[in-house]
């Protein structure tokens, strides 16, 4: 599991969010600026990862490490250095191992990256064969893949000052939240918690610092973002984490968990509130059925619906970070810069326990071989579903007991009132 977490963390950083601008040569000197500003954290991380000095890392450029990959490694090094200097348990070790994997272009990282980009590369190769030349563009745009006429053209690049701010805010927030949760003695492994928090916050903080700037993963096929690609590649890591060469075949499971009977509950609703309640119950059960697998292997195993912007997943992660209620988050925001950033990026769309009943009742998961045998996975999914019903029954039993006790007290008071009369 430790290796799997490190592979996924390396993949998350292998294409930094500003990659398209770097590929087009619009951010010259960014890696030098990042090193100058975050020298202490980077040097600490490189030593922890056994990678020597920054100058040695730059030499990797001559051996095939591309400029945006060097920048991604520096970005990861800033986070790893923050975790290491804060002495955040096995989270720092996972970040150091991820940095090692990224710097040496480990086959597991490369294979997951290539497998998740297969369709893009087929499109590009087909176009190049038809045109008889290499495909390239100097225009940076983001297109709607269903209607390419809908396009956003970026005429300017993000400033290096703002990119520096993004790196600082992101690394400080993730490290601060993981440190806070681990020092409080949470029941979730620090390295796994790092994988969850790092994945959730990357996209949110980017759009907080750069609103409206959706970075295309491939400037030649600009129909999905860097964040979309990272999510797909991290999902594929579940099948390639043990790869020893760049021709390895995928190994693992594709799991479909379908609550087939829920449509009958919703169809029997006679009022709008009943329909909402039935739909919400279906959404809750769908999440709780797969929750043990998401908790154990990371958010990327949830292929459909994705964990990104998933209200139940977000509520679960907040509880693991120590915030069981939104008011806990608001209180913590007054005491911690990291918590305040978390509150600000979540507030526009999430403010407490999920009330959105639109989570599909059918989930598709990508699981690694470590998940066990097919029978074991089936039992785990079934146990998640039955456990969800037990938790509902337990909550309802508690409410019924309180209601009965309240009625008894009210009945007693009415009797005494009659005696007095």
* Segment 69-117, tens digit of pLDDT: 999 999 999 999 999 999 987 899 999 999 999 988 888 998 888 888 7
Name the token pair of 121: 């590369």
Per-residue pLDDT for 16 more than 80? Answer: yes
- Phi/psi at 69 (nearest 5 deg)? -70, -40
State which residues form the domain around 176: 1-117+159-210+231-241
pLDDT at 187: 47
Comparing C-alpha atoms, which of 214, 241, 227 is closest to residue 16? 227
Name the token pair of 54: 């920054």
Per-residue pLDDT for 57 more than 80? Answer: no
Q: 324-332 contacts: CB < 8 A, separation 24 or more?
A: 325/352, 326/351, 326/352, 326/353
**236 and 270 inside one domain:** no
Instruction: Assess if residue 266 is contained within a domain.
Output: yes
Instruction: Assess if residue 410 is contained within a domain.
Output: no
Instruction: Assess if residue 260 is contained within a domain.
Output: yes
**259 and 310 inside one domain:** yes
**292 and 259 inside one domain:** yes
Secondary structure (DSSP) of 175-189:
HHHHHHHHHTT-SS-
Instruction: Assess if residue 413 is contained within a domain.
Output: no
Q: What tens digit of pLDDT does each residue of 276-293 get?
A: 888 888 899 999 999 999
Half-sphere exposure of 30 (CA within 13 A, CB side): 30
Last residue of a domain, one of 241, 264, 283: 241
**84 and 203 inside one domain:** yes
pLDDT at 123: 66
Instruction: Assess if residue 130 is contained within a domain.
Output: no
**270 and 237 inside one domain:** no
Q: In what order do the strands lie in the sheet with 253-258?
A: 253-258, 362-367, 302-304
**188 and 278 inside one domain:** no
State mean pLDDT over 24-40.
93
pLDDT at 407: 82
**362 and 257 inside one domain:** yes
**165 and 304 inside one domain:** no
Per-residue pLDDT for 54 more than 90? Answer: no
**110 and 189 inside one domain:** yes
**197 and 301 inside one domain:** no
Q: What tens digit of pLDDT does each residue of 151-209 get?
A: 888 878 999 999 999 999 999 999 999 999 988 765 458 899 999 999 999 999 999 99
**308 and 237 inside one domain:** no
CB burial class (10 A; 0-12, 13-18, 19+) of residue 91?
buried
State mean pLDDT over 118-142.
70
141-144/147-153 β-pairing: antiparallel
pLDDT at 159: 95
Residue 53 to residue 35: CA distance in whole angstroms: 11
CB 102 within 8 A of CB 76: yes
State mean pLDDT over 114-128.
70
pLDDT at 357: 82
Q: What tens digit of pLDDT does each residue of 367-410 get?
A: 999 999 999 999 999 999 999 989 888 888 888 888 888 887 77
Residue 77 to residue 60: CA distance in whole angstroms: 15
Instruction: Assess if residue 221 is contained within a domain.
Output: no
CB 72 within 8 A of CB 16: yes
Name the percent of the chain lying above pLDDT 90. 54
State mean pLDDT over 17-28.
94
Per-residue pLDDT for 420 more than 50? Answer: no
Count of domains in the chain?
2
* Counts of helices then strands in the chain (DSSP H, E): 18, 5
CATH code where residue 327 lies = 3.30.70.2220
Is the omega angle on the peptide bond into residue 133 within 30 degrees of 0, that is, cis?
A: no
**174 and 271 inside one domain:** no
- Using left for φ > 0, alpha for ψ between -120 and 50, and beta otherwise, residue 322 falls in left
Instruction: Assess if residue 177 is contained within a domain.
Output: yes
Write down the pTM of the prediction.
0.89
Instruction: Assess if residue 30 is contained within a domain.
Output: yes
The model's confidence at residue 229, banded by pLDDT at 50, 70 and 90, is very high
State mean pLDDT over 55-68.
76
């Amino acid at each position: 599991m430790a290796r799997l977490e490190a592979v996924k963390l390396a993949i998350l950083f292998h294409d930094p969010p500003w990659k398209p601008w770097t590929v087009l040569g619009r951010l010259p000197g960014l890696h030098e600026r990042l090193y100058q500003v975050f020298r202490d954290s980077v040097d600490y991380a490189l030593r922890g990862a056994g990678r020597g000095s920054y100058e040695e890392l730059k030499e990797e450029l001559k051996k095939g490490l591309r400029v945006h990959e060097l920048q991604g490694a520096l970005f990861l090094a800033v986070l790893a250095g923050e975790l290491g200097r804060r002495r955040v348990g096995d989270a720092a070790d996972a970040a150091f191992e991820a940095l090692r994997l990224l710097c040496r272009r480990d086959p597991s990282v490369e294979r997951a990256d290539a497998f998740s980009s297969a369709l893009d590369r087929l499109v590009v190769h087909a176009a190049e064969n038809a045109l008889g030349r290499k495909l390239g563009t100097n225009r940076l745009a983001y297109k709607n893949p269903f209607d390419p006429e809908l396009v956003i053209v970026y005429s300017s690049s993000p400033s290096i000052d703002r990119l520096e701010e993004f790196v600082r805010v992101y690394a400080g927030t993730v490290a601060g939240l993981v440190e806070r949760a681990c020092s409080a003695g949470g029941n979730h492994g620090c390295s796994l918690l790092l994988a969850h928090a790092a994945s959730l916050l990357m996209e949110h903080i980017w759009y907080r610092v750069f609103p409206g700037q959706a970075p295309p993963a491939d400037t030649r096929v600009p129909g999905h973002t860097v964040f979309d690609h990272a999510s797909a590649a991290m999902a594929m890591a579940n099948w390639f984490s043990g790869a020893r060469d760049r021709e390895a075949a995928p190994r693992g499971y594709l799991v479909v968990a379908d609550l087939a009977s829920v449509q009958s509950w919703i169809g029997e609703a006679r009022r709008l509130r009943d329909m909402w309640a039935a739909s919400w119950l279906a959404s809750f059960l769908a999440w709780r059925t797969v929750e043990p697998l998401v908790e154990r292997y990371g958010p990327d195993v949830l292929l459909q619906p994705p964990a990104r912007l998933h209200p139940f997943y977000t509520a679960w992660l907040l509880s693991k970070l120590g915030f069981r209620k939104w008011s806990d988050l608001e209180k913590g925001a007054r005491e911690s810069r990291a918590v305040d950033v978390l509150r600000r990026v979540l507030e526009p769309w999430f403010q407490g326990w999920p009330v959105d009943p639109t989570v599909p009742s059918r989930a598709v998961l990508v699981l690694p071989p470590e998940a066990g045998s097919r029978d074991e996975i089936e039992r785990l999914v079934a146990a998640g579903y039955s456990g969800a019903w037990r938790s509902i029954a337990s909550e309802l039993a508690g409410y019924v007991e309180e209601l009965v006790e309240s009625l008894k007290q009210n009945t007693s008071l009415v009797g005494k009132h009659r005696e007095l009369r």
